[in-house]
Structure 1
Amino acid sequence: MPQTDPQPHPPRVVGHLILGELIGVGATSSVYKAVDQRDGRVSAVKEISLIGVDSQDMERITAELELLSNLEHANVVKYEGARTIGESLYVELEFAENGSLARTVHPSRFGGFPESLCAVYVAQILRGLAYLHGQGVVHRDIKGANILTTKEGVVKLADFGVATKGSRVGGGDGLGRRFGLLNEASRKIASMENSEEANADGEAKPNDALGTPYWMAPEVIEMRNVTAAADVWSVGCTIIELLTSNPPYYDLDPMPALFRIVRDKHPPLPAGISDALRDFLMLCFKKDPKDRPAAEALLSHTWLTDERSLTEQPREVGALIDRVANIGVEASTMKRASSSSDALNLLGISTSNGMTKEQIDLNETIVSVMDRLRSAFADTSSSENVEMAGADFVQLMDSSTSFNVTNETLFTTRANCTFMNVINDDAAAETTRTVAFECVAAASAASRDVLTSFVTMGVLPRALEVLRRENASARAKIAALRLCRVTAKAGPVFSRCLVSCGALPILVGVLDEGFGGSGRELTKYALSAIYIAAEIERGDQMPRQLGQAISLSLAQAGLFPKLVALLGSTHTASLEDEANPEVMDDTRSEGGSSMTGSIGGTSTHSVSRGLYSSGGRYYRELVAETLYRVAKRGDGCPEVSKSLVDVRIIHGCLAQLSVVPRSTATKLLGLVHLLSKQPDSFDVLQHSGAIPKLVKCVEGNVKSGHAQSWELALKALHNLCAMNKERQEQAAVAGLIPILVKIVAERNVAHTVQQSAMKLAVPLLCDMASASRKTRELLEKHGALDAYVELISVESGWTLSALNAVGSWLAIEPWKAEARFLEPDAINSILDVLDESTSQDNIMQALLNLISTSPRLCQALANEHFIPPLMDALTTAATKPTTRITLLKMLGVVHEHAQRPKELIIRYDVVARLKRLIEGVTDERSSGAVAQLVDKILRSMRLTRVA
C-alpha cells in the first residue's frame, strides 16, 4: 500500500460522529479521524462498504467485531462500537495519537531505539499479549506496524484481522488465506499514519499471509498448529525491528526470507546488544514452540527487571531500593552514612556545584531551619521550639519549586542523620518523633532522591511501627501514613519496597478507624496509600501472579468487609458535602488518583478531593474501585474467592446498588458479576436478594441507556440463573421477562452492545420456557411466545434455542403455546427453517421434537406445503445420513397426523421418491437404518415397498 499522510477531507456526520480527515485507505474501506458530537471525544472510524460483501466476508467481519468487543486492556486498542448505516459499516476504535512503532523507527523519522527505550515498549507489548493469551486469543500478526502508541507512550496492540480465539489454531490455511475485511483497509487503524507497510521507496511489502512474512514463526510457515508461542517469536522479530528499523531478513524478498526462517537456527541478532537482551531474544527464537516462554513469564526476565517502563528511577538506585526491601535493612546498619559524601556515594548520586541563585537561597534557608531543628531536638525541655521549627521546615518543603537534591545541604548530617537519629531514639518524646516523621514525609514528597535516602536508611519499618502501636497519637499516625503514601506514589519500585516491609496488612488495620469523627483523616490516608501501594491504578497490567499475591495479602488482612463498611459512610459523607456546597475541595490532595465510572482497563482522568474537606464522593469511588480491582486480581485464587463469598460483603454491596450513583454502582456490579462466576457464591447471592436487585439494575440502566451497567447486571443474572429453575422463576417474578422480550424485539439494531445483550438474553428467555408454571404464565403475559416466533426465524441466529424452548413448552403445557404456533407467521417461520437449515442436524432434530409434541401443528404443516421441501431434502445426495434419518422420522410424524394422508402421498409422489431414495443410498452404514425407516413409513401408509 503506498504511503499516505493524513489528507484534508470534507467533514460529514455519521450518527453522533463527525468524520474529519482521511487517515487511511484500503481496497474496500477508509479510515477517518472522528469527533463525537456528544462529548468531543476523538476516535478513529473505519468505514467499510458492504456492497458486494458475501456471507464469508461478513462472517469474518462479525468474528473480528465479536473478538474486539470482548477485549478490554490498557495495552490493547479499545473497541468503541459499530453500526451499519445505509450500505456501509462504521467501526469506531480508540485513537492512538502517535501512530505505530514501525512509523516511529523509520529511518526518515527517529530511526532505531536504544535498548533501554526498546525495553519500555516491549514490557507493555508483553503485558498486552499476556492478557490476550489469557483470554484464549492468539494475535498472529505482532509487528511494529500493528503496535500503536499514545502521546503518553502507552502501547496499544491493534489489528486483529487474523487473530484467533482458542489456544490452538490449525494452520492449514497457510500462506493462501487472506486477511479479513477489517484488516484489509490498513495496519494503521486508530493511528495518524498509513505508511507502516511501505518500504523506504513507498512501495508496499507483500502481506497476504496469515501474519506477515518477516515476523512469522517457523510453525506458521510450515502450516503446523499455531499457538500463543507464535506471538512470542514475533515479539523477538519486533525487538530487532525497533533496534534496527527493520525486522530480520528484511534485505531478502518474502519467499527467500520464509525459507531462511525455517532453515536457520535462529534469525541474525543485531551487533552490540547486551548479554541480557541476547538471552531474551534466544528464548523468543526457540525453534520448538513448546520451548518458548509465555509472554507473562518473559515479563520477569532480567532485561525487563523492575518495570523500567513505569518508573523514572535510575536502574542502579532502583536495584538498591529493591535490595533494601528484600533483605530488610535495619536503620542501625545505615548510621555509618553520617556525612554528605557517604550518603551520596551510597545512593550513586554525583555532586555538582552548579546551582541557581534560587537554589542557593533555598539551601541557606534549609541550613537555617535545620540548625533550629537540631537545637530544638537537642533541647528536651521545650517541645514548643520543636513544633515551630518543624512547622517551618514542612512549609518550606511544601512551597519549594526548585528542589535540586544532588547539590543541596539537605543530604548533610543536618537532614538525614538529624531526623533518623530522632526517629530511631525510642526514648525521644512522642511529639519530637512525630515532628521528625512530618519533616521526613514533607522532604520526601519534594524529591524522590531524598525519599531514596530515607528509605535506604530504614525509615519505613519505623513508620509502620508507629501505625502498629495502639497508643500512638492520631497526629503521629497521620505523619507515618503520609510517608507511606509518598513512598507508594514514587513508583513501582518504591511501592514494592513498602509492600515488602509488610505495610498492606497494617494499612488495612487503620481502616477500622472508620470515616467518621477523628478517625476520618487516618482512613483517608490509609485508603489512598493502599490504592497506590497495591498498584490498583495499573488495572490489568500487573503480572497475574503478582496481582494475585497482593490480593491474597489484602484479603487475609480483612480488607473486603472493611471496604464494604466504608461504602455507606463515604456515601453519607458525599451527601453531606452536596448539602454544604460552601465546603471547599483542596485539589492538591495527594490522594488524588485516576478513576472513572468504567471498570475496564486503566483510568483515564483524575478526580481529586481534598483531605481538608470531607471528600466523601472521591473516597466512595476509591473504595468501590479498590474493592472491585482487588477482587478481580484475585480471581482464580481460592483463598481470595472464599473471603469474598461472605453474606456481609455481598449483602452490603447489594444494599448500596440502588443508593450510590451510577459510577460507584458500576464497580459494585463488576464485583457481583465476578462473584456470579463462582458456583460457591450462588446460594449466598440468592439468599442475599441479588436477583431482584440485579433485575432492577438492568431495568433502570436500560431505560437510561447506560450500557456497561445493565450488561454487567445481565451477565450476573445469566450466570446465576443458567440451569437453575428456581432462580429463573425468581428472576421472572422480579420483572426480568419484559426486559428480555424488549431486547429480542430490538435485535436488528446494528450495535455491538445490543448483539452482546442478545447472547445473554436469549438463553435466559428460552430456558424459562421449562422453568415452572408461574414462569410460563409470566412469559405468556409479556409476549414471550411472539419473541420465540421471531427467534425461530433463520435470520435471527437463535433458531435452535427457540425451537427447543417451544418444544419444551408444548411438551409440558401444549394448550398454552399451541394456538400461537398455529398462526400463519409461526407456520411460515417453521417452513423457513426447513427450507434453510436442513444441513444442520441439531436444528432438524429440534424441529422433529417440536412437531412430535403437537398433532395440530403437524396437520397445519401438512396443509402448508411442508412436504415438498422435506422430500427434496430427503432425496438430495448432499444430505448427511444422520440428517436424512431425522427427516424420515419427521415425514412419518407428519403423515401420521395429516388430515388426508392418502392425498398427501399421491400429491407429492411420496412412494416413488422413497423408492428412489433407497436405491440411491450408497453408504452401507446408513442404508440399513434408512431402509427400516422407509419400511415403517410405508407400512403406516398401508403400502408395501417394492424391493
Structure 2
Amino acid sequence: MTSWLRGRCVGKGAFGVVNAAVSRADGRVFAVKSVDRGLGHPRRLEALENEIEILKRVASPHVVAYLGDDVTFEHGGTASFRNLHLEFMPGGTVADLDRADVDESLVRRYAWCLVSALRDVHARGFVHCDVKGRNVLLSGNRSEAKLADFGSAVEVEVPQDLLPRGSPMWMAPEVVLRERQGPESDMWSLGCTVIEIVNGKPPWEDHGVDTLSRIGYSDELPEFPSKLSELGKDFLEKCLRREWRERWSCDQLLQHPFLLPYAVVESSPRCVLDWVDSEFAESEHNDLEEEGGWLEFNRNENSVKSRIRKLATESRVNWETQGWEAVREVELKEESWSSRTTGETEEGVNWEFSNVVGVGSCGECWNCEGVNREIEEFGEECKRGGGWERGILIIYSCKTLIRCYLLLLIYLNTLWFWIIYGVYLCLLEKCVMQLRERRNWVECIRN
C-alpha cells in the first residue's frame, strides 16, 4: 500500500470487490479489484489470476484497460489481498441506467462499443463467456461503454470442461446444454445484453430450472423490445439464433445498418467515399466540437453516413464551369458566313477553321471532311434549339438520381451497389467530358 491508497467500494461481484484507488505518485484515480487470499476462496483467486493474464494479452480501446497488479498486506499485516489495477469508469454500468435516458441512438452506440470489444477479444483467441449489463462499464459522461470482468473468460483453443460459464439468463442454448462455448455464444449474450439495455431488466424472467429448460430445450427466443425499431429487431435476430452456426460474427455485425452510424472507415480507402480530404476533415472536426464532449470519442472515426449525406446533398461541383481545362483550342477567322449545304452567304463566322490544334476522330487534322461534317450537324442542332443544352439537363437529372442512390447506400451497403456506383461514376465522367467538348464546338460555331 506504499504506492497507492484504497478508497470507497464501487462494486462487488462473485469473484471480488472493486474499490476506487489513488496513486500516491501522481494522484491518478484508478480501480482496484481485490480478493482476500486468507479467506479460503480458491475459485475467486483463480478467477482473478485468469482475468489478469487475459487482460495482459487483450489490448483494445473498447475493453477496460489493465494497469498492473500486486499483492498488499493490510489491516496491520493481518490481511493479504491480490489486486488487479484497472481503468476507472465512473459512469457505472449499463444495468444502472435510468431507462428514461435510453433512446435508440444510445442503444446503437453501446452495441457498437460491445461488438467492437468482442471482435478484439475473439481476435486474440478468447471467449468472454459472461457478457451482460453488469459487465459493461460507462465513462463519466456515459458516451462510451467498455467491456469488463474477464474472470470467466477462456481461450478458444484450450480444451474446455464444458461446465457452463457465466450468468444463466444470458447463456446461449449450447452453453446450457453443455455442448460448446465459443465466440458464437458471446454473440447470443450480446443480443441478450442489448435487450437488457432497452428494457432495464434481464432478457428472461428468472424462474430457475424452468427458465434454463426454456433456453436450452425449447425453440423460444427472448422477447424483442417493442420500442426498438425494425432495424434494431433485425440486429437482435442476427445475434439470437438458436443454431450457433447461423449467428453473425462481430465483423458481420459491424456492417449491419443498425451500427452503421458508428462504423469506422479504414485508413486505407477502399472507394472514393473513404478518401479523407481537407474539406471533409475540417467540417467533421467542427461538427464534433459543436456537439461538446464528443471530440475525444470520435477523434479516430470518419462517419460514412456523414460523407454520403454531404456528397448527396451539397453542390460540390459545377459541371458547366468548374474544374475544366481547355484541351483543344480553335482560332476562327472573321469572314462571311459560308454554308456548304446551301451556298448562301451572310455576315458571321466562316465555317473554315484555321490554326487548329489537335487531331480529329479519323486520325487526321481537324480540317478533315469528317470533322467539318460533324461541325455542320452541330450547327444545325444549335439552330433547332437542341445541342449540348439537353445534354447538360440530362447530367443534372443524373445527379439528382445519384443523390437518392447515395442515401440508399446508407441502408443497403452491399458490394453490388458499390460496383454499380463506380461504373456510374466512370460513365458520368466520360459523358461530361464529351458534352463539354461538344459544347465548345457549338459555342465556336455561334460566335
Given the two structures, how large is their TM-score scaled by the length of structure 1?
0.28
Deviation at 1:57, TM superposition (A): 5.6
Match of 1:163, as an amino acid?
A
Counterpart Cα distance in 1 of 2:243 and 2:181: 12
Q: Is 1:132 matched up with 2:86?
A: no
Deviation at 1:54, TM superposition (A): 6.8
Deviation at 1:138, TM superposition (A): 0.4
Structure 2 partner of 1:47:
34
Matches within 5 A, 1:538-577: none
Find the residue that maps to 2:258 and give its secondary structure.
helix
Structure 1 partner of 2:146:
156
Match of 2:318, as an amino acid?
S
Aligned partners of 1:147 and 1:158 also within 8 Å: yes
- Cα distance change of structure 1 residues 323 and 138 upon mapping to structure 2, 3 Å threshold: same
Match of 2:92, as an amino acid?
G
Deviation at 1:69, TM superposition (A): 1.6
Aligned partners of 1:75 and 1:125 also within 8 Å: yes
- Cα distance change of structure 1 residues 223 and 171 upon mapping to structure 2, 3 Å threshold: farther
Structure 2 partner of 1:257:
211
Counterpart Cα distance in 2 of 1:110 and 1:265: 26
Structure 2 partner of 1:16:
3
Match of 1:164, as an amino acid?
V
Instruction: Give aligned-pair identity as a percent.
Output: 29
- Cα distance change of structure 1 residues 168 and 266 upon mapping to structure 2, 3 Å threshold: farther
- Cα distance change of structure 1 residues 301 and 169 upon mapping to structure 2, 3 Å threshold: farther
Aligned partners of 2:14 and 2:44 also within 8 Å: no
Structure 2 partner of 1:822:
none
Aligned partners of 1:171 and 1:220 also within 8 Å: no
Counterpart Cα distance in 1 of 2:15 and 2:135: 19
Counterpart Cα distance in 1 of 2:259 and 2:43: 43
Structure 2 partner of 1:230:
185
- Cα distance change of structure 1 residues 275 and 168 upon mapping to structure 2, 3 Å threshold: farther
Counterpart Cα distance in 1 of 2:14 and 2:168: 21
**In the alignment, which of 72, 84, 87 is matched to residue 91 of structure 1?**
84
Structure 2 partner of 1:173:
163
Deviations along 1:175-204, whole A, 9 cap, x unmatched?
xxxxxxxxxxxxxxxxxxxxxxxxxxxxxx
Given the two structures, how large is their TM-score scaled by the length of structure 2?
0.57
Deviation at 1:323, TM superposition (A): 6.5
Deviations along 1:351-410, whole A, 9 cap, x unmatched?
xxxxxxxxxxxxxxxxxxxxxxxxxxxxxxxxxxxxxxxxxxxxxxxxxxxxxxxxxxxx
- Cα distance change of structure 1 residues 240 and 285 upon mapping to structure 2, 3 Å threshold: same
Aligned partners of 1:28 and 1:49 also within 8 Å: no
**In the alignment, which of 280, 287, 312 is matched to residue 242 of structure 2?**
287
Structure 2 partner of 1:266:
221
Deviation at 1:319, TM superposition (A): 4.0
Match of 2:56, as an amino acid?
S
**In the alignment, which of 125, 132, 148 is matched to residue 143 of structure 1?**
132
Find the residue that maps to 2:85 and give its secondary structure.
strand
After superposing the two structures, state which structure 1 stretch, 57-66 or 237-246, moved more: 57-66
Matches within 5 A, 1:732-747: none
Deviation at 1:24, TM superposition (A): 3.2
Counterpart Cα distance in 2 of 1:285 and 1:242: 15
Counterpart Cα distance in 2 of 1:54 and 1:320: 53
Find the residue that maps to 1:38 and give its secondary structure.
coil
Deviation at 1:222, TM superposition (A): 0.5
Counterpart Cα distance in 2 of 1:54 and 1:243: 36
Deviation at 1:81, TM superposition (A): 1.1
Find the residue that maps to 1:230 and give its secondary structure.
helix
Aligned partners of 2:260 and 2:305 also within 8 Å: no
Q: Is 1:277 matched up with 2:240?
A: no
Find the residue that maps to 1:46 and give its secondary structure.
strand
Question: 1 or 2 for the larger relative contact order (CA 8 Å, sep ≥6)?
Answer: 2
Structure 2 partner of 1:220:
175
Structure 1 partner of 2:379:
none
Deviation at 1:28, TM superposition (A): 7.7
Deviation at 1:211, TM superposition (A): 1.1
Counterpart Cα distance in 2 of 1:27 and 1:267: 25
Q: Is 1:68 matched up with 2:22?
A: no
Structure 2 partner of 1:568:
none
Matches within 5 A, 1:481-880: none
Deviations along 1:885-904, whole A, 9 cap, x unmatched?
xxxxxxxxxxxxxxxxxxxx
Structure 2 partner of 1:78:
65
Find the residue that maps to 1:306 and give its secondary structure.
helix
Match of 1:212, as an amino acid?
S
Paired residues in the alignment total 286
Counterpart Cα distance in 2 of 1:15 and 1:268: 51
Q: Is 1:120 matched up with 2:106?
A: no
- Cα distance change of structure 1 residues 268 and 325 upon mapping to structure 2, 3 Å threshold: same
Counterpart Cα distance in 2 of 1:130 and 1:254: 31
Counterpart Cα distance in 2 of 1:148 and 1:309: 22
Deviation at 1:254, TM superposition (A): 3.2
Aligned partners of 1:19 and 1:35 also within 8 Å: yes
Aligned partners of 1:99 and 1:148 also within 8 Å: yes
**In the alignment, which of 241, 265, 287 is matched to residue 196 of structure 2?**
241
Find the residue that maps to 1:331 and give its secondary structure.
coil
Match of 1:81, as an amino acid?
G
Q: Which runs of 5+ in 1 are unaligned?
A: 1-13, 175-209, 336-420, 428-496, 498-947
Find the residue that maps to 2:17 and give its secondary structure.
strand
Deviation at 1:272, TM superposition (A): 3.9
Aligned partners of 2:50 and 2:150 also within 8 Å: no
Aligned partners of 1:120 and 1:308 also within 8 Å: no
Deviation at 1:226, TM superposition (A): 0.8
Deviation at 1:145, TM superposition (A): 0.7
Deviation at 1:332, TM superposition (A): 2.8
Counterpart Cα distance in 2 of 1:248 and 1:28: 23
- Cα distance change of structure 1 residues 161 and 60 upon mapping to structure 2, 3 Å threshold: closer
Deviation at 1:309, TM superposition (A): 9.7
Find the residue that maps to 2:7 and give its secondary structure.
strand
Deviation at 1:170, TM superposition (A): 3.1
Match of 1:154, as an amino acid?
E
